[in-house]
Amino acid sequence: MLSKELALYTCSRGRAYPDCLTRDTHAHYVPLVEQLLAIYRCGKGATREQLHRHATAVFNEEPQCPPQRIRSFIRLLDQAAEYQTDIDGRAYRLRQRVFDLAAQRHPLVVTPDTLFEHAEREVKKQIAGEVGMPWLQLERAMYADLPAFHRLKKMEGYSTAEELLRRYNVAQAQTLLFWAEEMTVMVRDDFRKIFRHAKFNRLLHETEAVGLGKYRVRFSGPASVLRQTRRYGVDMAKFLPGLLACRGWDMSARLRLPYGIATFKLSPRDRLHSHLSPDEEFDSEVERIFAERFGPERDGWCLQREGGFLARGQKVFVPDFVFRHTDGTVVYLEIVGFWTPEYLERKAQTLALFKDTPIIVAVAGSVADKLPLLPTEVITYKTRLKIKPVLERLEALHASGIL
């Protein structure tokens, strides 16, 4: 994924279009990107700075390539690469020691005289001797913690140039969503998968039925939420590859760009290719851990992930889990972890609409006091949803006979 400063787009008649490389007009980019891949694949041991310099030089003979495009290719390659970093702070400590030793001989000069007697070359040789490392190796080691001097360990991403070019196109589309006030997705197929991607990326959304087998999902954008805007923008951008892996949808986003309002539209007809598998599973960490600890069956209750689909009028609700007892009893589980008051209010309204349906509600303790009054008793959790209170609530509902 790219950052906002690498965004490349054009606007025409109120529409925003991300930079997109096509086979018809950019076929000559394939051999250039193959050179980029070769630089990284054969660059083990090279610093990040050296790799960037060589990669930039590839496009010296391509005057029509904007600087953001070149830097975007490099950013995507860096994200697929693994660099040697200074995790334990060894470089910082070494640098501090070298500076302390050099300070004792300050100032250093190229040619010593009666006033300044410490020659730089001799001092470096002395310091190297005291540290026990040749100066060239010492100089390289004491700056190893700076990103420019991180050294490449390996690069295994992007098997072909076409794969990197496709990822670039998606990444540029993602950057536009950093400016989204609202995004609407009309869904005809793969509703559950799209809904799952939205929940996994913690997007604030509401769903309504607009026809037989058709749904409208409205998302709050990072330009509209009041807190954690940058983080939420990243979450929305991460949602896009999941959407692209699904079928039967149309997306429209209202953007508040630096120079005005524009609309960004996207659908499978635009032929952007996701790097995600269409069947890739997504869960929040809380949901994943709960499902793993509960197991497929416990005390007569079988756990299914998103096995329930509730609708009332135009309102659609897909709980996180459904429990099915051996006697046919069904209870749903909804985990609430979102933070904005507006979203919590809408969540409360949805749960109130389905108050006659047996739903266990688990709420993160950080938002429990902000959640409006609910028509059901809630379970609070800190970082993990525990099994015991859920089982107790299941048995209480089962014993009440109201299911």
- The model's pLDDT over 345-366, given as tens digits with 9 standing for 90+, comes to 777 888 888 888 888 988 888 7
Domain range summary for the chain, segments of one domain joined by +: 4-82+158-270, 90-144, 285-400
Domain 285-400 CATH class label:
alpha beta
Strand partners, 12: 15
- The model's pLDDT over 243-256, given as tens digits with 9 standing for 90+, comes to 999 999 999 999 99
Q: Could you please report the per-residue DSSP string of 281-298?
A: ----HHHHHHHHHH-SEE
- The model's pLDDT over 380-393, given as tens digits with 9 standing for 90+, comes to 898 889 999 999 99
- The answer for residues whose C-beta is within 8 angstroms of residue 211's C-beta and 6 or more apart is none
Question: Buried b vs exposed e over 152-178: b needs ≥16 C-beta within 10 Å?
Answer: beebebbeebeebbbbbbbbbbbbbbb
First to last CA, the chain: 46
Banded model confidence at residue 73, pLDDT cuts 50, 70, 90: very high
Q: Is 222 helix (H, G, I), strand (E, B) or coil?
A: coil
How far is 75 from 70, CA to CA, in rounded Å? 9
Q: Is 304 helix (H, G, I), strand (E, B) or coil?
A: strand
- The model's pLDDT over 93-114, given as tens digits with 9 standing for 90+, comes to 999 999 999 898 888 888 888 7
Contact of 243 with 200, CB cutoff 8 Å = no
Contact of 289 with 384, CB cutoff 8 Å = yes
Banded model confidence at residue 339, pLDDT cuts 50, 70, 90: low
Q: Are strands 315-317 and 310-312 parallel, antiparallel or unpaired?
A: antiparallel
Return the pLDDT at 282. 46
- The model's pLDDT over 175-234, given as tens digits with 9 standing for 90+, comes to 999 999 999 999 998 888 888 888 778 888 888 888 877 889 999 889 886 555 788 899
Contact of 32 with 62, CB cutoff 8 Å = yes
Distances in whole angstroms, Cα of residue 8 to Cα of each of 66, 163, 307: 9, 19, 41
